Structures are given as structure tokens and as C-alpha cells.
Amino acid sequence: MNLDGRRIDLRRTGRRIAGAVVCLGFFLLAASLHAQTRSSVTAPDSIATRVMACTTCHGERGQGSGDDYYPRLAGKPARYLYNQLLAFRDGQRKYAPMTYLLEYLPDAYLQEMAQYFAAQQTPFPVLPRPDVGPDVMALGKKLTLEGDPARHIPSCVACHGASLTGVSPEIPGLLGLHAKYISAQLGASRYGARVTAKPNCMQKITVLLSDADIAATAAYLSSLPSPLNPAPATEGSLPLALTCQSSDAR
């Protein structure tokens, strides 16, 4: 290689080194700024901050979302919500994202989360009208309000209250939920995918339901308007159709 060739190679090498130094300088500057930003911004240690992972799917205050399968949490009885969090954490209810979020959280933390969402009072979502015929809606209405005594199926209102807003401390409201979600939960209960501490009251009922019963009940419940008073009924105000111990998650 002649002298001119060596000079050209040296200039190219010099430019590469200079470029690498500039890139490294930018990287170190960016890292320093990032570290300063991280050290100067601290999220408040509040329950509203702790439940941010929940609000991504369930709404900012647990009001629900447009997704069929993410239910409304706001205003449901605290013990019901706590029981469901326990069930997801401990594997009684199966949904991987929920288990992942909850698997290392202690009971006290879950209680705080449940109490937070139970205290939220938000407007109910406007749900799409179920695309079913009048016969299906009539069956859903009958099962919801009257049940089917001939098949030993109690009505929904017999346990969830006349306004279907639930009963404290642990029977949930059924309004403001998408039909697909209600149907999925009734089916999961019927087939044992959604299990609770014994005696499992809901499964005693859902095993008696046909696919048509579940579809009709889900459609009718999702069609109902928002309640005037969304609060759950007080404990002991309703003689329940089935006797379940207070430790049961429903």
C-alpha cells in the first residue's frame, strides 16, 4: 500500500473512532438525564396508584370498559371483590393476567384494593342491545324474576336483590355487565372452571341451567337500565333462596 492509501485509511479510521466517541457521549448523556428523571419523579404511595394496573382493563374507577369480558367493579360489595381477588391469586379462578398481577400480593393489600373499588360510585355503561328475539328475552326475564320452580331454579332476584344491585357483604350486582361476560361466568360456574369455597352456591344453580337458559339470562340482564340506587342491599334484608355461609365467594 502506498503512502496516500495509508493516509486515506487513517482518515477513515479516525472518522469511525470520532463517530463512536460521539455516539458514546450521547448515550452517556441520555443515561445521565434518564437517571436524573427517574430519581426526581416518584409516584405517590396511594391506593389509587396501586390499582393502576387494574384500571387499564376495568376503567379508571372500575366503571367497566367497552370490552365484553372486563366487568364493572365499582360499587360491588367489598367482600365479594376480595373473595374474587383471592380466588385469582390462589388459582381457584383461572385467568393468567390476573394471576400474574396478584400472585405475590398479601391479603391486606387485596383487601385495600377491594375496599377502594367498592367505594367507587360511577355511572353505569351504556351497553349494546342484545341481538336476540323476543322469546329469548322472555325466557331471560322469567328466569331472572321468577326462576323455574319446576326445575328447582331460583330467580336471580332471590339472591342478588330485587334491584339486582347485589347484597352486602358478598353477593354481587348483576347490572352494567356485558351479556358475553355474564354468559361466560355462568358457563364457567356450571363446568367448574369458576370454583369457590364450599358450599358452592352458584354451581348448585348453574348445573341446572341449559345453554339456552344461560344465553337468555345473560341477554336479559345486560338489557336492563341503570338502577336508581346502585348500592347493594344491606345484609340480612333479603331471605336468600339458598343458605350459604359468609365465607363463600359467589
- What is the per-residue pLDDT for 244? 60
pLDDT at 149 over 70: yes
Show contacts of 37-42: CB within 8 Å, 24+ apart: none
- What is the per-residue pLDDT for 113? 96
Residue 5 sits at φ, ψ, to 5 deg, of -65, -40
For cell 387499564, name the residue. Answer: 56
**pLDDT mean across residues, the chain:** 83
For cell 333479603, name the residue. Answer: 238
**Residues whose CB is less than 8 angstroms from the CB of residue 179 and which lie 6 or more positions away in sequence, other chains included:** 68, 127, 130, 218, 219, 221, 222
Q: pLDDT: is 238 or 90 the higher one?
A: 90
For residue 142, the SS3 value is: helix
Q: pLDDT: is 55 or 239 the higher one?
A: 55
- What is the per-residue pLDDT for 45? 81
**What mean pLDDT comes out for the span 192-218?**
88
pLDDT band at 243 (very low <50, low <70, confident <90, very high): low
pLDDT at 97 over 50: yes
- What is the per-residue pLDDT for 13? 45
- What is the per-residue pLDDT for 238? 82
- What is the per-residue pLDDT for 44? 80
pLDDT at 25 over 90: no
- What is the per-residue pLDDT for 236? 87
Q: Kindly state the cell numbers that stand for 209.
A: 341451567
- What is the per-residue pLDDT for 40? 58
**What mean pLDDT comes out for the span 165-180?**
95
pLDDT at 29 over 90: no
- What is the per-residue pLDDT for 201? 83
Q: pLDDT: is 43 or 103 the higher one?
A: 103
End-to-end, the C-alpha distance of the chain in Å comes to 85
pLDDT at 213 over 90: yes
pLDDT at 61 over 80: yes
- What is the per-residue pLDDT for 228? 92
